[in-house]
Structure 1
Amino acid sequence: MESYSTKLTWESLRPRGEKQDWAGKVWFKGHVPSHAFMMWVAHLDRLPTRSRLASWGLQIDTCCCVCNHFHETRDHVFLRCEYAEQIWKMAIRRLGYRPVLFHTWDALLAWIEMRVRHCPSTLRKLTVQAILYRLWRERNQRLHNASPTPPQVSFKEIDRQIRNTILAMKHRRNFKNLMQIWLTHE
């Protein structure tokens, strides 16, 4: 070779796999890296929930540390826990939908990719990722610090994160009208 190419070297060392159908729901233009990473790990169901840790042989309580009622699984922490349901209701209302709850991960993914006029998928993806990130932080905060945060306070943090992301990306085509849509049903 006459010249060295880092790109070609990288591509020869790291063969690419098939693109997954869920990749666009996790990695999209304008995603918040920490939120997208959390969504990716959650989608693969690799988060260290108590049920998962117990399946590895650890002798721990498998009850959810947020509600203390059900086994702590990905779907419970992010979709079925009372705390999560309250946050989802606030977010769904803010996006202009009638309150709906997701009881399976597949139902959440199907909702993200729905084609509707009044709420672009970019805003739904941002919202879902911000909620998942905040719910996991709340779970860890309760587990390690025994310090609960009311759902309304958590939703204010989610709201602030979404507003900041939209403002930071306002020059991008997919983000042009998102603030107006996000604030319409405040």
Structure 2
Amino acid sequence: MHNRIATGDRILQWNANADATCPLCQHLFFACEYSRLVWEPLAKDILKEKYTTDWDQNLSILKSRAFSGIAQFFIRYTFHATIYGLWRERNAIKHGETPSPRQRLVKVIDKAVRNRLSTIRLKGGRDYENGLVYWFDTRA
């Protein structure tokens, strides 16, 4: 959203001869089957009927106040953690590492979200008192 991740279009601005395609599918984020299969189990039960893999619709949801409190936190943080996880996975593949099974990446992102909530609670964040209960309720 702030053009900070070196996506294909930015890489091409730096080096016109670079290979800017996704090593998984030649698509960007949720248009990619791998990405969609990572995003779905993390977000579907939070977003419910608003669930989508469309990039622009997800950004609209993130900017809106369609959800309140803990749900809004989880939507935004899960999106952030998913984008970061997918970027790291694609970067690792571009540098010769073996692709991770998508289930492994889902578990890594799930744990990152839970760890973030734990650190907020440890710092005295009372607004997220029932956050872990909510998160586990949204796991399929």
For Structure 1 versus Structure 2, the TM-score category normalised by the shorter chain is: 0.7 to 0.9
After TM superposition, give the deviation of residue 96 of structure 1 in Å.
Answer: 6.1
Question: CA 1:162–1:60 in structure 2 vs 1: closer, same or farther (change >3 Å)?
Answer: same
**Deviation of residue 155 (structure 1)?**
0.5
**Contact conserved, 1:96 with 1:185, CA < 8 A, in 2?**
no
Match of 2:12 in 1: 54
TM-superposed CA distance for 1:173, in Å, is: 2.7
1:176 CA drift (Å): 1.4
Task: Call closer, same or farther: CA 1:168–1:47 in 2, change over 3 Å.
Answer: closer
Two-structure CA RMSD over aligned residues (Å): 2.3
The reply on whether 1:185 has 2:138 as its aligned counterpart is: yes
2:21 aligned partner:
63
> For each residue in 1:3-40, what CA deviation from the matched residue of structure 2 results, as whole angstroms up to 9, or x when unmatched?
xxxxxxxxxxxxxxxxxxxxxxxxxxxxxxxxxxxxxx
Matched residue, 1:128: 79
Gap runs ≥5 in structure 1: 1-42, 71-75
Higher relative contact order (CA 8 A, sep 6+): 2
Query: Which blocks of at least 5 consecutive residues in structure 2 are unaligned?
Result: none
- Partners of 1:172 and 1:46 in 2: how far apart? 28
**1:110, distance to aligned residue in structure 2 (A):** 1.9
Larger Rg over CA atoms: 1
Q: Which of 34, 41, 52 is matched with 1:83 structurally?
A: 34
- Structure in which a larger fraction of residues adopt helix: 2
Report 1:88-99 matches (<5 A): 88-95=39-46, 97-98=48-49
Shift of residue 55 of structure 1?
A: 3.8
The alignment covers a number of residue pairs equal to 136
Q: Is the 8 A contact 2:43 2:78 kept in 1?
A: no
User: Which of 21, 44, 60 is residue 110 of structure 1 equivalent to?
Assistant: 60
TM-score, L = length of structure 2: 0.81
Q: In 2, distance between residues paired with 1:80 and 1:93? A: 16
What one-letter code is carried by the residue in structure 2 that aligns with 1:85? R
TM-fit CA distance, 1:103:
1.9
Closer, same or farther in 2 for the Cα pair 1:175/1:58, shift >3 Å? same
| TM-score, scaled to structure 1 | 0.63
Whole-angstrom CA distance in 2 between matches of 1:86 and 1:55: 29
